[in-house]
Amino acid sequence: MARIVMKFGGTSVADLDRIRAVAQRVKRQRNAGHEVAVVVSAMSGTTNRLVGWCQALSPLHDAREYDTVVATGEQVTTGLLAIALQEIGVEARSWQGWQIPIRTDNAHGKARIAAIEGAELIRRMQAGQVPVVSGFQGIAPTGRITTLGRGGSDTSAVALAAALHADRCDIYTDVDGVYTTDPRIVPKARKLAKISYEEMLELASVGAKVLQTRSVELAMNEHVRVRVLSSFQDGPDDGAVGTLVVDEDEIVEKEIVSGIAYSRDEAKVVLRRVPDRPGIAASVFGELAQRSVNVDMIVQNAAADGTTDLTFTLGKADLPRAQAALGALASQIGFAELLTDPNVAKISVVGVGMRSHAGVANTMFRALADKAINIQVISTSEIKVSVLIAAEYTELAVRALHTAYGLDAD
Ligand code: ADP
Ligand code: ASP
Ligand code: MG
């Protein structure tokens, strides 16, 4: 007998039939004798619609009210799944973040979980009840509802698994595991039986949406066994299907490159002809940091005339706030022009093997050159190389790289 947290994403609970299927899946685990807690996302499309409504009313909307609106999607799913479970004879109860409570910090829209009180849920699980918990949300020290950033239900599930001392956290989604790249754009992508926390963390942080970055970080730190698997496939679940996220030393055959990810969530910003003197970068990035705008890739090139072009990327959702901040700074530091381009994509190759193998970046540049794809910005870390390209070449680039690194399935 095990204690399992089962998490179901948006497509897995997209309509009443899917919710009934989830209820049956939960019932099977209960019948096998396991204690089960469930974490659910909003029904697919719901969160996008709620976010759209906030943006339509005001691009610079109040983050506390954004959270009030977008947290509602998950509440609906918890109630519906609890009803579906009760209907098939499984004792179940819905839980919102504030009821447990799932305590977070005050960073509305991208809050971090600080603590979860698990005792009451454990007591109920031991008594045979299935808690159905809203993912994505928590409660701030101020008492207001918070959300954890897009894809945050994964993080709710891993944090809950840690708080409940669960043996496993099963993340059910619309693909049957973690692949060498997004199987929706590369049909030749290969499923990985295991992936290391580190590589999964890096892949998630550069755009592989299959797990939210913070969920992998938490799993690594709290030693939670995470498995990614499909809610659309039936068959016996012996704990071996899907992809297991594990410590690096549990992986026998290490690839140089384990995966390729892309992100269309970033926008490029160029400040043209910025004075080339000390303190400019501190002013620009300081101003952005103050408004909680995270900057990702950065390049700077000094020209002979004492000015420099400063190019960087940031989340598309942050662009209106960044433009407001930089506009206010223009007269203070003096630059010629502020250009923004949302039509970019970041393509990244990730692998722990890069630590010990040379030429990984070069393979990337060559493969992109062969397809005549221009590289706008480059950044690297110990186990990753990322490039920024025009968004229209995303699929072409990912497929070319997947082949270039020998990742294509036979
Ligand atoms: P959920 O709603 O269940 O949380 P998501 O849409 O957030 O599902 O994540 C699953 C999706 O992640 C898949 O449909 C797939 O398109 C995408 N994805 C991106 N990269 C990968 C990868 N390397 N392996 C598997 N899926 C990936
Ligand atoms: N519903 C939220 C989102 O769409 C959280 C999640 O699905 O993980 O981002
Ligand atoms: Mg998700």
CB 180 within 8 A of CB 259: yes
Conformation bin of residue 125: beta by default, left when phi > 0, alpha when psi is -120 to 50: alpha
Cα-based distances in Å from 409 to 149, 181, 191: 33, 11, 9
Ligand closest to CA 152: 2
Q: What sign has the CA pseudo-torsion 355, 356, 361, 364? A: negative
Alpha-carbon gap, residue 22 to 232, rounded angstroms: 9
Task: Determine the pLDDT at residue 255.
Answer: 82
**213 CB within 6 A, ligand 1:** no
Ligand closest to CA 209: 1
Ligand closest to CA 202: 1
Q: How far does residue 200's CA lie from ligand 3's centre (Å)?
A: 14
Encoded tokens for 381: 């870390």
Return the SS3 of 171: strand
Closest CA to 258 of 351, 165, 348: 351
Contacts of 265 (CB under 8 A, 6+ apart): 207, 315, 316, 317
Residues of the chain with pLDDT under 70: 236, 238-239
Please name the residue whose Cα sits nearest to atom 4 of ligand 2: 47
The ligand 2 site (C-beta within 6 Å) comprises 9-10, 41-42, 47, 73, 135-136, 150-154
Q: At what angle do helices 63-70 and 72-87 cross, to 10 degrees?
A: 20
DSSP state of 107: -
Please name the residue whose Cα sits nearest to atom 8 of ligand 2: 151
Alpha-carbon gap, residue 274 to 332, rounded angstroms: 11
Alpha-carbon gap, residue 191 to 221, rounded angstroms: 25
User: CB count, 10 Å around CB of 382?
Assistant: 9
Atom number in ligand 1 closest to CA 260: 23
> Where in 209-354 does DSSP place strands (E)?
226-230, 243-246, 259-263, 266-275, 295-302, 307-315, 337-341, 344-350
Q: How far does residue 396's CA lie from ligand 3's centre (Å)?
A: 24
CB 270 within 8 A of CB 212: no
Task: Determine the pLDDT at residue 330.
Answer: 84
Q: How far does residue 63's CA lie from ligand 3's centre (Å)?
A: 21
Q: What sign has the CA pseudo-torsion 310, 363, 257, 405? A: positive
Atom number in ligand 2 closest to CA 74: 1
Task: Determine the pLDDT at residue 238.
Answer: 65
Atom number in ligand 1 closest to CA 172: 3
CB 141 within 8 A of CB 53: no
Chain-centroid distance of CA 163 in Å reads: 21
Q: How far does residue 69's CA lie from ligand 2's centre (Å)?
A: 13
Task: Determine the pLDDT at residue 341.
Answer: 96
Alpha-carbon gap, residue 55 to 49, rounded angstroms: 10
Please name the residue whose Cα sits nearest to atom 10 of ligand 1: 210
Domains located in the chain, CATH noted: 3-248 (3.40.1160.10), 260-404 (3.30.2130.10)
Give the max Cα distance, the chain.
76
Chain-centroid distance of CA 25 in Å reads: 25
Ligand closest to CA 210: 1
Alpha-carbon gap, residue 97 to 137, rounded angstroms: 6
Q: How far does residue 257's CA lie from ligand 3's centre (Å)?
A: 24
Q: How far does residue 54's CA lie from ligand 1's centre (Å)?
A: 25
Task: Determine the pLDDT at residue 235.
Answer: 73
